[in-house]
Amino acid sequence: MGNIERMYELAVERYAARGVDPAAAMERLEKTAVSIHAWQGDDVMGFEHANHALTGGCQVTGNYPGRARDAEELRADLDLAMSLIPGTKRVSLQAHQVDWMFPGVDRDAFTVENFSGWLAWAKARGIAMDIAPAFYSHPMLDHGFSLSHPDKAVRRFWIDHGKAVRRIGEAFGRELGSASVCNFWAPDGFKDIPADRLSPRLRLSEALDECFSEEMDERHELDAVESKLFGLGAESYTVGSSDFYLMYAARNNKLICLDSGHFHPTESIADKLSAITARQGRILLHVSRGVRWDSDHVVVLNDELLGIGAETVRCSGGSGIFICLDYFDASINRVAAWVIGARNMLKSLLIGLLDPANAVRKAENEFDFTTRLALMEEAKELPWSAVWNYYCLKRDVPAGADFLAGIRAYEKQVLLKRN
C-alpha cells in the first residue's frame, strides 16, 4: 500500500467520525461535469484568419510561447489538459474558434459545418460541447455595440449570428447526446455617462427575443444570458447589466450566467446561488478570478472559489447549476493554466461534498451558533487533500503537482516549436 492509500484510509476514519462518506463524495464529484473553456488556449483570438483586433473588453496579457494557431493545435492542447484533469469534462467554444472558413461566409451564416472537426473530435472522446456567440473582435462591433446598436443593419448581423450559433449548439447536443449550453454575452456599453440608458436596453431585449425566437429542444440546446458590471471601454454603463439579465432570464426561462469576475470586486457570486435557485432556477457559472477588476486570472483555491464550490453542492446538490471555467492568461503555460484552474474548481466541489453539513445545520436549526461556528472552523482542518489525491490516483491522473512533468515535456516537444 502506498502513501496515498494510507493517507486516504486515515482520512476515511476521521470523516466517518463526522458523519461523512468520502467514497460517496467522490462518486458525486465524478458525475459533476466541468466545461473546459477552449479560449484559454488561443488567447481568445479565434481562427477566422481575418486579423480581427481583440475588442469588446477582452484583455489577454502575456506572450508565453505556444499559443494554438488553429483548431487542430487547440484540440491537441486540450487533449493533454483533459488527460491531467480527473472527472467528467466538457469543452466550451467561442464561435470564432472555427475549423473552417468558407468563401463569403461570415459569422452571421456559420453552420455546424464550420465546426465539423470539433464535432468529430468530441464524438471520438465521448465528451459534450458547449458554445457561445462571439459578439466581439469583429468590424461589426461598431463603437462597442452589437445587439443594442441603433443601426438595424448592425443589429441584424449580430442577431443572425446568435441564431446561427444556437443552431450549431443544437447540432452539438443532438449528435453528442448532451444538451449544449449556448451562452449569450455582449460587450455593449459606454465609456462615459450616457444620456439615454433605456433605449439600448429596449433594443437589446428585442434583439434577444429574435435570437431566441426559434424554438429548440432543451434535450439538445440550453440558452444562457450573461451580465457584466463594466468592461474596458464600457466603464460607466453596460447595457446587459445584472438586473437586466436576471429579469430577462426569469421571464424567458433562460439560464442566468454568473461570471465571478463580472461583479464588484467585493461581491461574491456564492451568495447568489441559493437566492436564484430558490426562485428562478437554472444557473450557468463562469468561474474566473478577478484581481481588482475583471482580469480573468487563473482560478486559485481562495475563499471565493471555496464559497462557490460549497454553495454549488448545497443548492440542490448541484442540480440545475452548470459549471464552465472562464479565464485567459498568456503569461504562463496555457495548458498548465487549464489544468491548475480546473483541478482547483474540482477541489472546491470536493471540499463542499466532504463538508459535515448535517451536524452544522442541526446546530443552526437549534440556534446554537456557538457550536455552528466551532464545527465550521474545525471542518477547515479535515484532510480533504488525502481524498483528492486518492481520487486522482484511482482515475489514473497525477496527484499533487506531478502533472507538471507531462506539461513540461509537451512544451519542449510541441509548444516551443510553434512560431
219-230 pLDDT, tens digit per residue, is: 999 999 999 988
Task: Show which residues are catalytic.
Answer: 185, 226, 228, 259, 262, 286, 294, 296, 326
C-alpha cell at 9: 484510509
Nearest to 130 by CA among 379, 399, 2, 322: 322
pLDDT at position 78 is 98
**pLDDT value at 266 more than 70:** yes
Lowest mean pLDDT among 71-80, 82-91, 275-284, 367-376: 275-284
Indicate if the pLDDT at residue 97 is higher than 70.
Answer: yes
Reduced DSSP (H G I as helix, E B as strand, rest coil) percent helix, strand, coil of the chain, to 5: 45, 10, 40
Mean pLDDT of 18-41: 96
CA 113/CA 79 separation, integer angstroms: 22
Quick: pLDDT tens for 308-330: 999 999 997 667 999 999 999 99
Q: Is the pLDDT of residue 55 over 90?
A: no
**pLDDT given at position 285:** 97
Indicate the SS3 state at residue 105. coil
pLDDT confidence band for 134 (50 / 70 / 90): very high
Assess whether pLDDT exceeds 90 at residue 53: no
Residue 161's DSSP bridge partners are: none
Sketch the domain layout of the chain as residue ranges. 33-356
- pLDDT value at position 77? 98
pLDDT of residue 283: 96
Q: Note the pLDDT of residue 49.
A: 83
Burial 274-304 (b: 16+ CB within 10 A, else e): eebbeebbbbbbbbbbbeeebbbbbbeeeeb
Alpha carbon distance 37, 287 (integer Å): 10
Asked if 193 and 237 count as a contact pair (C-beta separation under 8 A), the reply is yes
Percent residues over pLDDT 90 in the chain: 89
Q: What superfamily would CATH give domain 33-356?
A: Divalent-metal-dependent TIM barrel enzymes (3.20.20.150)
State the pLDDT confidence band at 56, using cuts at 50, 70 and 90.
confident
Please indicate, yes or no, whether the overall pTM of this predicted structure exceeds 0.85: yes
Q: Which whole number is the average pLDDT over 100-126?
A: 97
